[in-house]
Amino acid sequence: MTAPTPALNNSALSSEARNLHWLLTNLVEEVPGLLSVAVVSSDGLLLLSSDPGRNTETPSEHSGGPKGSSADLATIVSGVGSLTIGAAKLMDGGGVKQTMVAMEEGSLFVMSISDGSLLGVHATPDCDMSVIAYHMALFVGRAGHVLTPELRSELRQSMESTR
């Protein structure tokens, strides 16, 4: 399955930005059951997204992601991340590594990236949670060290230019 990504002029992006896009596409293509994926900055802005589930559904089927928008997933991921960080502080629990919400019709996973950014995944109800968590951890490990302020700014600008 090929994951749609925002229409970008890849030649205008830095090699780090192209690598992050590649990592996201690779995550989506390798992990079955993903409906929507978003990388959100620490201030809640969408940096990267992909909505693979929308490619294979017919119009009468569920849209796959929250209300059909990557921006909606980014908002949810940012809110859940903020809530769990606050809860961890109140409980003296240390840093939040991962949050998982199991719903009747799907699952939501949120994982912290080293710079305060978050990786969020909306998955099908029958997904293999351990496989998703493993691949998310790989993405975070590979992406965390390159998400500099300059790269976050470049990714925000590229997302804004595709709207």
CA 74 – CA 144 distance, rounded (Å): 18
Cβ atoms of 125 and 132 closer than 8 Å? no
User: What CA–CA distance (Å, rounded) separates 21 from 25?
Assistant: 6
Task: Indicate the SS3 state at residue 5.
Answer: coil
Cβ–Cβ under 8 Å, residues 81 and 53: no
CA-nearest of 45, 153, 62, 156 to 106 is: 62
pTM of the model: 0.81
The pLDDT tens digits along the chain (163 residues) read 334 444 445 558 888 899 999 999 999 999 999 999 999 998 888 999 985 444 333 333 444 544 556 778 999 999 999 999 999 999 999 999 999 999 999 999 999 997 789 999 999 999 999 999 999 999 999 988 888 888 888 888 888 776 5
What separation in angstroms does the CA of 112 have from each of 12, 52, 84? 28, 22, 11
